[in-house]
A = this chain, B = another copy of it.
Amino acid sequence: MADKNWLNENEKWLKTIVSLVDTELGQSAKTELYDAITKMSGEKPTTVDSTSTHQIVLATTENQNLISHQLFDRLNDEGYIIRTITEHEKPTILLSAKTDKGLLYASFHFLRLIQTKQHLGSLNIVENPKNQLRMINHWDNMDGSIERGYAGKSIFFENNAFTTNLERIKDYARILSSVGINAISINNVNVHTVETKLITDEFLPDVATVANIFRSYGIQTFLSINYASPIQLGQLTTADPLDPTVRNWWKEKAKDVYRFIPDFGGFVVKADSEHRPGPFTYERNHADGSNMLAEALEPFGGIVIWRCFVYNCMQDWRDRKTDRARAAYDHFKPLDGQFYDNVVLQIKNGPMDFQVREANSPLFGAMTKTNQILEFQVTQEYTGQQIDLCYLISQWKEILEFDTFAAGAGTPIKRIVDGSTFENKISGIAAVSNIGNDDNWTGHQLAQANLYGYGRLIWNPDLSTEVITDEWVRATFGHDPEVVEHVTAMLFDSWPIYENYTSPLGVGWMVNPNHHYGPNVDGYEYSVWGTYHFADNEGIGVDRTVSSGTGYTAQYFKENKEIYESLEICPDDLLLFFHHVPYTHKLQSGVTVIQHIYNTHFEGVEQAIGLMERWSLLKDKVDEERYQNVMNRLNQQIENAKQWRDMINTYFFRKSGIKDEKNRTIY
């Protein structure tokens, strides 16, 4: 229910909804408006031109004559206009777009205006999404498990088949569409035996059913495929991308898929990565591999999303010269210009793997002739697994604003991946979903903010974190100033808090192997994964400089290279990502590395307790179920934070022999 004062003033606008667009998406737009307004105003609007004095009109460019068609020149195919027209005989709020998809987004935008108590009497909004591809990746397996899922089982699959709960999928489509997501891949990038068959007649009818649901909300469906499919499905003896029988197999396969799903998006591919098959087996490169698939998809308008998460996952820890951080750049940069124009490379935000803090990938902007999209991780694999609170919008905003200098100063990552800098044909952002079949979708109630914020931020990376956060908090918990204040503060504080009590100064990876929850300082130190901190009794950190280390810093454009290369001006929070320093090294903040470790870990626990205390102030202001959900997890977070604090501090105290200046308890 919307706010009463607001309603008194604005409800006249909500009495009539006139839709002039009868397509599937047009109907979705109208239904969403109708249902939400009914709930928020407590009254069902009429949907025919009525005697009401005011009206909402949904219309595409052509079937409206309320405003000039020229105004639509500013819109792209997904953009829209929302305008209050009072000079009309019947005061009208016009929701209009070039396409019915734009209309759907306009409807959701309009509902957000209501939820955030905007005055409806003088709207004048023109919106275009800044990114073209706005995607969610699922790492769902057909046995119902989700790789890196922390909110229950898959909503798509169970028992190696598709679920029959299509309502849940429809609700998910509505959620995604409401924040502007327009593409989804529904299965894990690690494509196992059963999932390999998703592109066969056995499962394509089911995929089509799901695609139909998503289509009605403007979302295009993609599948992750197994690069070795020609062998596993087609009985071929090879998957060599230059082999004509293989190329032909994929062409026929593409025809099959498009027979079932005419607007199928394309393939997401993890190849030659972490033991997945790929073109390397045949001494071909990533361009060969992806172009073959692109060729097959091209006649149907499909694209290949080829992941750049490629590195040596069988590294010998004794080999200090090989640097996993270099891998994506070293693999892909030399291929710039060789990819077909319906291939797009998907690049993780950092060169390692979604750590709480790592450098930004130097690949952004490095390939001027290649389509590229950015990959974020909404599911909190390394950031608390939806037990610990970690609001990632702040992190992503920071990443998107990072100036690559790719086309001179003022080339932030957001301007690379939106395609504007190098005029890419395909561009955008993808992220791994954080939802599952838990009642509240995300396990932790407040983790919903990450999915919401992800959608909003990639629609428009220029939005401030403050605006996005305020929208979510008010839409979720209402407008009580105390609630808004505390929930907002909790979200804003949470990422720095999580960073405080976990791996220090950008070094990463001090987690338990495999499941990645909880501290284990040497958990990845003597492993094959290329993930080391090199702590000894004197110091810690990975020397990635050109002058004495792995030379990784040279992958950045000059301006950034000089910053990272320099021990003096390298930002504190990435110091150990770029340099190996003594524990006694003084940070720019003025404290030594070891004292920083101690301080932040003691503080982190206190801050985690602070989150819990803040939340407890809202006991009577938030419904019991959500209150308890969050409170239970905050209490788990405190225990986790204490484990981190004590393990990290003990590890470094035992290793360095240097005492905490403040004599706090270290074991």
Contacts and interface: CB of A to CB of B under 8 A. Distances in A.
Interface of A: 317-318, 320, 519-522, 526, 535-538, 643, 646-647, 650-651, 653-657, 667
Given A522-B521, A526-B519, A647-B526, A536 B654 contact: yes
Contact of A537 (B318, B647, B655): B655
A653 B655 CA distance: 11
A646 B317 CA distance: 10
Contacts of A657: 536-538
A interface: dominant SS: loop
Nearest to A656: B537
Contacts of A520: 522, 526
A91 B284 CA distance: 80
Contacts of A318: 646, 650, 667
Contacts of A647: 526
Contacts of A317: 667
Q: Find the residue from A320, A526, A647 having the highest chain B CB count within 10 A.
A: A526
A654 B537 contact: yes
Nearest to A521: B522
Given A318-B650, A526-B650, 12 more contacts: A318-B646, A519-B526, A520-B522, A520-B526, A522-B522, A526-B647, A526-B651, A536-B653, A536-B657, A537-B655, A654-B655, A655-B655
Contact of A536 (B535, B538, B646, B655): B655
23 contacts: A317-B667, A318-B646, A318-B667, A320-B667, A519-B526, A520-B522, A520-B526, A521-B522, A522-B522, A522-B651, A526-B643, A526-B647, A526-B650, A526-B651, A535-B654, A536-B653, A536-B654, A536-B655, A537-B654, A537-B656, A537-B657, A538-B657, A655-B655
Contacts of A650: 318, 526
Nearest to A535: B654
A644 to B, nearest CB: 11
Nearest to A512: B513
A532 to B, nearest CB: 10
- Which of A317, A643, A654 has the most chain B CB atoms closer than 10 A to its own CB? A654
A554 to B, nearest CB: 25
A650 B525 CA distance: 11
A643 B526 CA distance: 9
Nearest to A540: B654
A538 B653 CA distance: 11
Nearest to A526: B647
A647 B536 CA distance: 13
A653 B538 CA distance: 11
Contacts of A536: 653-655, 657
A653 B535 CA distance: 11
Contacts of A667: 317-318, 320
Which of A520, A521, A646 gathers the greatest number of chain B CB atoms within 10 Å?
A520
A522 B523 CA distance: 8
A538 B656 CA distance: 9
Nearest to A319: B667
Contacts of A643: 526
